[in-house]
Amino acid sequence: MRVFQTDVLCMGAGLAGERVAVEAAQAGFEVICLSLVPPKRSHSSAAMGGMQAALGNSIMGDGDNPDVHFIDTVKGSDWGCDQEVARLFADTAPVAMREMAFLGVPWSRVVPGEHTYYKGGKPFQATEKAENEGLIHSRAFGGTAKWRTCYTSDGTGHAVLFTLDNRLLQLGVTMHDRTQAEALIHDGVTCMGCIARDLRTGELVAYMARVTLIATGGYGRIYRATTNAVICDGGGQITALDTGVVPLGNMEAVQFHPTGTVPTDILVTEGCRGDGGTLLDVNEYRFMPDYEPEKAELASRDVVSRRMTEHMRKGFGVKSPYGEHLWLDIRHLGEKHITTNLREVYDISTHFLGVNPIHQLIPVRPTHHYSMGGVRIDKDGAAYGLKGLFAAGEAACWDMHGFNRLGGNSLAETVVSGRIIGQKVVEFLRGYDVNFSTAATRQAAQGVQARIDALLKGTGDDCYTLRNAMQDIMMEYVGIFRNEADLKTGMAKLQELLKRSQNMRLAGGWTAGPLPELSMAMRIPGMIRLSLCTAYGALMRTESRGAHAREDYPERNDRDWLVRTLAYWKEGDALPALKYEPATPWYELPPGDRGYGSGKIIAGEIPAEKIRPLGRKA
């Protein structure tokens, strides 16, 4: 078995992983990044709309500041976030965006003069100030009081990822792509790296590191209809959960995006609605103002997705061979805008749907999109339970999103948290050494090999049968709307799948070399456990908060549920053990009404000593 040793091991080479790697490499530490795919094909490159930061450069962002961004973020989270982290994020985002410009990101810029913008689907004229010429522009996104989403047309993730990847090349960071992390090396107290599979050869490889970072993205592939790429299988979260000592936070908090296309489930950006697009029903009637008169299509994603689903339930969906959907209308934005600011939307629509959005409506419906839950970390990015283990980005529960994240906040989080956590990793490494344990390394490698050997002896279902069943269960029983009966049924079915996965077989019957089936089979038991963490957390949380909508408990219950779920999984258990911690250590913004998607709130009492004046730094 080959062995590599480094200061920092980044499991994942998307935006969050690469931003941490930049900080560590700039400080002179050796860094190795692992990636399932060539790093520039990481799922971060698919992000279109932009990154939120309170720059206040555009006329529609005039007067914006980190306090306003902080308030939007907390309201968007439905008061489920850690307000200390939300404050760190809002304050750091403007600095991080300007740094990315310095590194070479070609942000769309302010052009002075009179321009046609859209608000509420209706055009209006606004004059951009001459003194703002050339500054980073911004667009509208849902749930925000100001236009603050920095963008590069609708290819923001692509532009930022390529910029960071080029910076890593300049810094000499080692990149091992086509590599799948299978298990963390640890002794129950300290993390020392990971065991990975070389997907080219099938060989197991040990990576020994003083600091290990999980930045592997989300776990959307536990759902059938998801905007997530096939590589978003929760691999990093699985390795953490398998330790038995590292918890996953708020796994029941998963977001459905309003505009997944039909039938491909490819995302079209919220920038479509931010730039003035509207949602229409089977009668081509614009229905969102009836539900949300103030925000309409630009309410938060959880609200818009629920309103769309409610409208289809009333019989206003468009029938199709692929199920019901609604329409997204951007025709009124005009050919020039669509082929420049929304060029990827144009390409996706024409190439994958056979729809020309300049003249035709785009078929859309709510589709699973984002994981608010993940490896629970503190404000510095350090994982609970194991020293030397950090996490960042969508793989982590930092937790600035709470129970719903605003569009543009997650893409911004990758470089903001990457900057903050990268600096904390550098501080941690200075004066920190670890004695690498050959016993722990051998035990981890033997555990991975035993799983591979068991697949050769298995006589039950193949991995694809189990995956498809899992995804169907999650769609049917743990979707946008949840209730006790469905969640219990879904959990029972998932537990049965977990048992069946113990006798999984390889349809190909062999494990040597680069075998995609083996890569999937190694993930499936862990993905089912992630599904059970999601379903069980949703069952036990008897309230509705953000994206977690219980039909049998429609109230947001601040009295009993202003807490974060922590899910631990001990080997051999049939279900995770759930624990809870306070959602936030203190409040700059005490719980209140979001201003959209309003419902009944069961108020809780917040001690006066936990309330701080708005804008007060920690």
Catalytic amino acids?
257, 273
Q: Are 479 and 224 in contact (CB under 8 A)?
A: no
In the 3-class helix/strand/coil scheme, how is 281-306 assigned residue by residue?
CCCCCECHHHHCCCCHHHCCHHHHHH
Count the alpha carbons within 13 Å of 534 in the hemisphere toward its beta carbon.
Answer: 37
Q: Which of 9, 8, 18, 10 is nearest to 415 (CA)?
A: 18
* Spatial separation of the C-alpha atoms in residues 211 and 375, rounded to whole Å: 15
Nearby residues of 135 by Cβ (< 8 Å), 6 or more positions away: 55, 57, 109, 110
Q: Are 390 and 425 in contact (CB under 8 A)?
A: yes
Looking at residue 275, the DSSP 8-state letter turns out to be T
Residue 48 CA: distances (Å) to CA of 126, 267, 337, 358, 462: 24, 9, 15, 19, 35
The strand pair at 31-35 and 2-11 is best described as parallel
Helix (H) or strand (E) holding 578, with range, is: strand 577-582
Residue 408 CA: distances (Å) to CA of 34, 93, 277, 401, 512: 26, 11, 17, 11, 42
Handedness of CA 568, 394, 408, 399 (dihedral sign): positive
Q: Are 460 and 505 in contact (CB under 8 A)?
A: yes
* Spatial separation of the C-alpha atoms in residues 569 and 149, rounded to whole Å: 38
The strand pair at 191-198 and 179-186 is best described as antiparallel
* Spatial separation of the C-alpha atoms in residues 550 and 366, rounded to whole Å: 17
Q: Are 384 and 376 in contact (CB under 8 A)?
A: yes
Tokens found for residue 551: 């039909």
Strand partners, 136: 109
Tokens found for residue 133: 């010429």
Nearby residues of 442 by Cβ (< 8 Å), 6 or more positions away: none
